[in-house]
Each structure stands twice: as structure tokens, then as C-alpha cells.
Amino acid sequence: MKKIIIALTTVALAACSGPAFNPESVADATAEQVTRVEPLSWWTGMKMPLQLLVQGENISEYNVTIEGGKGVAVEKINKADSPNFLFVDVKIAANAAPGTYYIVFSKDGNTFKYPYEIAAREDGSAERKSFTTADMVYLIMPDRFANGDTSNDSTENTVDKYNRDDLFGRHGGDLKGIIDHLDYISGIGATAIWCTPLLEDNQPMHSYHGYACTDYYHIDSRFGTNDLFKEYVQKAHEKDLKIIMDIVPNHCGSKHWWMEDTPFADWYHVFDTYTGSNICFSSNMDYNASEADLYYHESGWFDRSMVDMNLDNPYVLRYFQQWAIWWIEWSGLDGFRVDTYPYNEKEPMAQWCKSITDEYPDFNIVGEVWTSSIPQLAYWQKDNANKDGFNSNLPSIMDFPLRDAIEAGLPNDNGGWGQGLAAIYDIVSHDFVYQDMSNMLIFAGNHDTPRIGDIVKKDPARLKIANVLLATMRGYPQIFAGDEVMQTARLPHDYGNHGALRVDFPGGWPGDEMDLFTAEGRKAATKNTDGLAVPQGQAEDLLNHFSTLFQWRKTKDVIHNGKTKHFLSRDNTYGYFRYDDDEVVFVYINNSLENKNVPWTYYAEISEGLTGGVDVLTGEPFEVSDATVVAPKTAIVIEYKK
């Protein structure tokens, strides 16, 4: 069994003083007796009941009590299949005092204690706000963003070492690098940050992405520490930036500590030979689907190195519920992004979502549901009118169908049936399927898809069109770090060379010449770190366009909550309006290779009487009419007050 000592300093809250307890005859627990207690700490006033996972050599032979004051007591002791685990249900009364309590283990006259912190919950914690349609989410892959602390590029307790020359190696980016560039992130118009997973991923190779977690309660030492993560959240909040944590309840890494000795035989899905998921999303809602197809979809592994967790085991489900709540309460998180959402067992995940929103009613959770099928995507959003009566309790979903339409439509020079921008019109025309078409994350690319710079074939004009779409359409936009300056992949993208598109952001690396974090660096840029030609001044021009749009979007309720009216065309143009009782925003995109006149009269049902327009991108007055000509590969955004 792997022996790990949890340092009390990771859970102690100095401001709390517990009830008096002085068990002089009781020895402190040693590493051999108790190797792990999770969650690392807890709070008074929580709705989620506390169930402690306790690991230790033959710990199941011990009786367990809690000492230290009134109001906290052991309610039930649950034994696991392994003798080295106990699951202890703890009752925390409404009048329980915050402070340090002691878990006391007793057997045959042998008694030892383990300190456990139960803190006072912060005022207003349950009422915390989350990310909404008013936000723009900036997606960062921490290992590839900025290296703020070279001392943790490789660490003693992790096996995958620093190798920046390897596309799939550790490049040294870390939390300090993100903290150092919070002003840049805020300055370009972002209001929230989603980092790919920061928890320990101690796989022997390809660990840089973080999606094979090996310890759910500790930040990877190559990124920093738990305390530094909390500092990151606090400093981001000082800049009015929200923090979204990327989490993976579906699977863990094959080198997770519990793989050496799992609490239960069905802690994860076990097969005689490696069995991958059949990726049959439809089996979740298909009336005709076989039980076998659903089983192998949910239970098959995502990858050989990613062990599929069994959320039908109630102890596994409770573990992940408490883990999520612990990170919210302990660090001050503002939201979750859940990886590979439909691969999980759907009913337990619905309980998982509900446990979080019961604790934090305004907390937003966005699920990765990677499907081009709009009805299948809509099925996963909370309160959708599903014929089978299933309610996921998942507030938000990622709009992959819109992303697919952007990828297909933007690089297309021709219009026509379903081509060019008509493909985007078609996706928006299906909004009637969604329970809440606004609470959806919209994006042109992320860490798993081709970069938008590659999609538009390194064309700055069409990148600007993508920015306009994301800044003005329904939903809340997500931008992958580097896309704002048209960063591109090192190699042509396919789904086997993710390392090539997850390139280092130019600027956060000691010794590198390029620095696109600064205006001076952008103006001087003649190429990016991957050797692709970038005309001088292009990076600065692109970022100015980007920042103008998204800084403007921050305060535009008409974009956050307004309705949409769009008009069909088959000439590779797209005209639409976002409107409410006070404002109208008109967007016209000419994605063709010819000048186009705006068909203002055709839009009369909403355009009639609109005067006093202002060009959002220039701040200058702009009156639209049938005589208005929009140049090839150009978008205009005009706002009106009613």
C-alpha cells in the first residue's frame, strides 16, 4: 500500500479555535496507522452529509469515535471490501462549533487519534454567483501558457519530467505563470478562466494535459500547491475574473493511488481484458437501444491509461460529490466544467449535479457533450422536456454543433444551400430544441479541436469574423488561449496529435524572443514560436479588434439576455439582430469574396425606424441602408438605442 501523510497544514484554518480536548493518553496517528483521510476538511452548516474515506493498514479492525466537543459525532461506520479502508458517516449538528476535532481509533486497548478540521463556513458562501451569459471564458492549458516558476518544472514526487522539445511532454507552464498574466487576460475582455485540469496527474507520460488524475485533493506539484491555487483564485477575483475548474468524475489515471488497493472490487469498471467505451451516446436516450450498448458506453474505459469509475457504487458517488463541494468551499471556485460528461452513468451524475446546486443554488456547471446531434445535446441540459422523464440537473452544455458549423462555414468562399454562413444560420434555427439556448458555451475551437487560425487558413479577416460571431451570438463565448492572436498548430491537426495544437503561448517562457503578452512584443512580432509567418503588426491588430469586441460585450445586457432575429441568405452573408426593450445590435457578415449591399429593407420588420447607429468597432456614427456596402470577408456590428 502506498503510504502518504496528509500534512495538517493543508487543512488547518488558523482563525478557527475548537472545543477543548486533551486526550493525553491517546497517541497521534502514524503514517502506518492512517495514511489518508478525505475530504481533507469540512465545514459547519453544509447540506451535504460528511462521509470520511479513511485509509490505513487494517483500519477496518478499529472502532471510530470523534472527540473534541459537542455536536460532531460518528453516525455510522461502513466497512469496505479492502480491510485497509473505512467509510465513516459523521453527523455535524447545527450547533456544532468550528475547530479542530479528533478522529479516535480504538482496538484491543490500542488507541490513537487523527486531527480533523471542521471550519466555520464563510458568510454568503451558499449564495455565491457563478459564470453566466455575461461572461467570456478564456481557456488555458496551464502547461502551455506561461512558466512563472522554473523551480517546479520537474518535481521529486512526479515521474514525467520537463521536456519542452517534446510535443507531448511537460513544458513547464504553471499557476505562477497564469497569476503573472491576469492583467493581460482581463485586458482582452475575458471575465472567467477555465484551466484544463490542475490536479495531480502522475502518469509516466503525456501527463501535461491533466485529464488522468492521480490525486483528487492535490494540485499537481509541477503547477504549484493547493495554497497557490487558492491564491490564484483570490487574485483572479481581485481582477473581476471568475475561476472555472475542469474536473473528470468519469475516469482517473491508471496510476491513481487507489489503484494499488481499491476500497471496493467495483470501485471502477473491471473487465477481463481492456474494454474501451463504444462511445454510443445515443444509448442514453434511444428507446430502441440495447442494455448492452448502454453498459459498454458507460462502463468501457475512455483510454487504457484512464480508468473508468463506477458511479453506481454509492461510496464512489459520495466521494465525488464531496470532492467537488470541498474544492468550491475551500478555494472559492465560481464554476465547473465537466469533462466527457455523457460517458458517466447518467442517473448518478444527475444526483452529483443536484448535490452541488443544492449547496450552491446559483453555481453553474457546463458539461462537455461532444455530439453534432442537436436533440442529443439538448437531452443533457437541466429541465429539458425529455420523453423518458430524465433530468440531468446539468445547467449548461457546450455547443459543439455550432462549432462544427463555424468550422465548415467560415473557410468556405461560396454560399448556397447549407454552405458558408448558411450552415451557421441552420444551427441557430434549431434553438427551439433547447431548454435554455442562452446557457450554452459557444466556441470556435478548444484544446481538443483544430485551432481557429488553422480553420480559417491563417486569414486574419476571417478570424475577425469568428470573433464577431462569438461576441454577439446567444450563449457565452469561450476562447482558447492564443486564438486571439491567431496562434496555429505546429502540424496539421488530427485527433492523434493533440500536442501539436496545444502550443506554448508566445511570451511566458524564460529566454524566448517572442512576447505576445505586451504591445511592444506584438508590434515587433514577425513570426510565432512555431515558425509560421505572421506579418508585422498583425498580432497587435488582431488583439485590438478582439479586445474592442469583448470589452464592449462585458456590459451589454442585450447580448447577454436579449433575443435573436436572423435572416436567411444563400450568398455567404449572414444578418442578425440581438434585441431587447432598450437596445438593438445589428450584425452583418460578408464572408464572400465580393462586395455586398446590406438588404436593410428586407430586415424591415425589425430595422424600420432604427436610427442613430454606432459602429461598435470604431465608436463612430454609422447609419445602415440598402446602399451600405460591406467589403469581402468583413463584419460590421452596429448598436442602436430604442
pLDDT band at residue 622 using 50, 70 and 90 as cut-offs: very high
Average of per-residue pLDDT across 332-358: 98
The predicted-structure confidence for 288-323, as pLDDT tens digits, reads as follows 999 999 999 999 999 999 999 999 999 999 999 999
Mean pLDDT of 39-67: 97
Rounded average pLDDT over 41-60: 97
- Taking 70 as the threshold, does the pLDDT of residue 21 lie above it? no
Q: Is the pLDDT of residue 194 over 60?
A: yes
Q: Is the pLDDT confidence value at 495 over 80?
A: no
Q: pLDDT band for position 535 (50/70/90)? A: low
State yes or no: pLDDT of 212 exceeds 70.
yes
Output 280 or 531, whichever has higher pLDDT: 280
Confidence bin at 27 (pLDDT 50/70/90):
confident
Helix axes 460-472, 538-553, angle to 10 degrees: 10
Does residue 339 carry a catalytic annotation?
A: yes
Which residue is catalytic, options 160, 174, 368, 399? 368
Average pLDDT over residues 480-507: 85
Q: Which domains does the chain carry? A: 8-120 (2.60.40.10), 134-253+310-553 (3.20.20.80), 563-641 (2.60.40.1180)
pLDDT of 526 over the 70 cut: no
Q: DSSP for 573-612?
A: EEEEEEE-SSEEEEEEEE-SSS-EE--GGGGHHHHTT---
Min mean pLDDT across 505-514, 543-552, 577-586 is at 505-514
Q: Dump pLDDT digits (tens) for 259-274.
A: 999 999 999 999 999 9
pLDDT of residue 530: 52
22 pLDDT above the threshold of 80: no
For the chain, give the mean pLDDT. Answer: 93
3-state secondary structure of 77: strand
pLDDT surpasses 50 at 434: yes
pLDDT at 534: 54
Of 2-6, 115-119, 438-442, 615-619, the one with minimum mean pLDDT is 2-6
pLDDT digits over 327-336, tens only? 999 999 999 9
Q: How confident is the model at residue 5 (pLDDT cuts 50, 70, 90)?
A: very low
Buried b (16+ CB within 10 A) or exposed e, 107-124: eeeebbbbbbbbbeeeee
pLDDT band at 2 (very low <50, low <70, confident <90, very high): very low
| Cβ contacts of 224 within 8 Å, gap of 6 or more | 149, 152, 174, 175, 176, 232
* SS3 (DSSP) at 619: coil
Q: Choose the catalytic residue: 201, 246, 339, 436.
A: 339
pLDDT at res. 493 = 63
Residue 356 has pLDDT above 70, yes or no: yes
What are 412's three cell numbers?
A: 468556405
Write down the pLDDT at residue 414: 85
* Residue 511 and residue 149 in contact, taking contact as beta carbons nearer than 8 Å: no
Reported as a pLDDT band with limits 50, 70 and 90, residue 1 is very low
Return the pLDDT at 494. Answer: 60
Is the pLDDT at 570 greater than 80? The verdict is yes
Quick check: 407 and 443 in contact, CB under 8 A?
no
Mean pLDDT, range 227-251, rounded to an integer:
98
Largest CA distance in the chain: 93
Least confident of 14-23, 124-133, 280-289, 497-506: 14-23
Q: Which residues make Cβ contacts (< 8 Å) with residue 358, sequence separation at least 6?
A: 47, 48
Q: What is the pLDDT of residue 521?
A: 86
